[in-house]
Amino acid sequence: MTARAHELKVREVLGETADAVSLIFDVPTDLTQRFAYAPGQYLTLRIPSDRTGSVARCYSLSSSPHCDERPTVTVKRTPGGYGSNWLCDSVSAGDILTVLEPAGAFTPRTWNRDLLLCAAGSGITPIMSILKSALILGRGDITLLYANRDRASVIFAEQLRQLVRRHPRRLTVLHWLESERGLPTAHGIATAARPYRRHDVYLCGPTGFAAAVEQGLARLRIPERAIHREHYRSLTDNPFERHLRTPTPVAATPTAAPAADAATVRVDIDGNTHTLPWPRTRKLLDVLLDHGIDAPYVCRESACATCVCTVKHGRTRMLTNESLIPEELSRGLTLACQTLPESDSLHITFDE
């Protein structure tokens, strides 16, 4: 097991609704820095499986590092969902779970903007982390538009009421209940969001809800640059099973001249330096894993930013980018899961 996967004790399990629970973790002192997280990030949990050994599932942190003592993920039961049902039914206080360190890039870059937070169902979890943090760190107004089936399914209902009472001038909560108004529509979203059309938007929820919100915001001509989305994707690989596999030894002569269709890359990672051939058509993450180098990753689709690294020398290009903003790109950041070489010689580091 690599240093990025750790065993954490579940300190407490809180029932939020009939089909949602929050898991509060104890983090040992020696792992405090490893589990430092930003609002809007998530944890990846290892869930045992009789059929496959384990499955990996990502759950957003609903706690805020700025006001909550311990990291907390909130899990809503999904019909037919193996991971969510196992966590809701089987986990108790005192249980040990294997957890990857925090990841994700769904975090405001500044805390002093006015925010329109849009969530549906369990999409409230990263939004709740952002909301609580913004109330502490920022000075702007915050509006939460939160859609659910009915009143009984509203996760964090009491917490939200308490936050509104404590911050009546800064926080507004708008509930959209399907039992009363039907499914969210673009017209309804546009009407609700109109007073907040100059706010920065953070959006998390199922595909249908997200589409309605995006269409509604488009009617208000809210610019794309002001809209930030959290995309939930299925993992294409089980990072826990990968960690348990025996690595392929690195070639005995790593500095040998590369083939004609390959660049040469020097990679700094975990305090070690590797010099490798980098085929022009192979993504950096794949090259590192091929050589038994345990580079960090989760989604492999550019959404989570777990594999972010810095290009110190040379030119690269990304096939897809859903995580890094222009300012980060200008500093040389790139995503190993999407990056190809353009120079003959490159230097990349994961250690910054």
318: CATH: 3.10.20.30
In a domain, residue 110? The reply is no
Residue 271 sits in the same domain as residue 225: no
pLDDT at 294: 82
Residue 106 maps to a domain: no
In a domain, 90, yes or no: yes
What DSSP string runs through 220-286?
A: TT--GGGEEEPPP---SS-HHHHHHSPPPPPPS-TTSPPPTTEEEEEEEETTEEEEEEEETTS-HHH
Q: What is the pLDDT of residue 260?
A: 52
- Token duo for residue 189: 């979203």
Q: Report if residue 294 sits inside a domain.
A: yes
φ, ψ for residue 284 (rounded to 5)? -55, -45
Q: How confident is the model at residue 253 (pLDDT cuts 50, 70, 90)?
A: very low
Q: Taking 90 as the threshold, does the pLDDT of residue 247 lie above it?
A: no
Query: Is 235 part of any domain?
Result: no
φ, ψ of residue 246 to 5 degrees: the values are -70, 125
Please answer whether residues 126 and 230 qualify as being in contact, where contact means their C-beta atoms are separated by less than 8 angstroms. Answer: yes
Per-residue confidence at 259, pLDDT binned at 50, 70, 90? very low
Task: Please give the pLDDT value at position 207.
Answer: 85
Confidence tier at 82 by pLDDT (50, 70, 90): confident
Q: Helix, strand, coil proportions of the chain in percent (round to 5)? A: 25, 30, 40
What residues make up the domain containing 126? 115-229
Residue 225 shares a structural domain with residue 280: no
| E strand spans, the chain | 5-17, 20-26, 42-49, 53-60, 72-76, 96-100, 115-120, 142-148, 171-177, 200-204, 227-229, 262-269, 272-279, 308-313, 316-318, 333-335, 339-341, 345-349
Q: Is the pLDDT of residue 81 over 90?
A: no
Please count the structural domains in the chain: 3
Flag whether 109 is in a domain.
no
pLDDT tens sequence across 55-70: 888 999 999 999 999 9
Q: Do 293 and 202 sit in the same domain of this protein? A: no
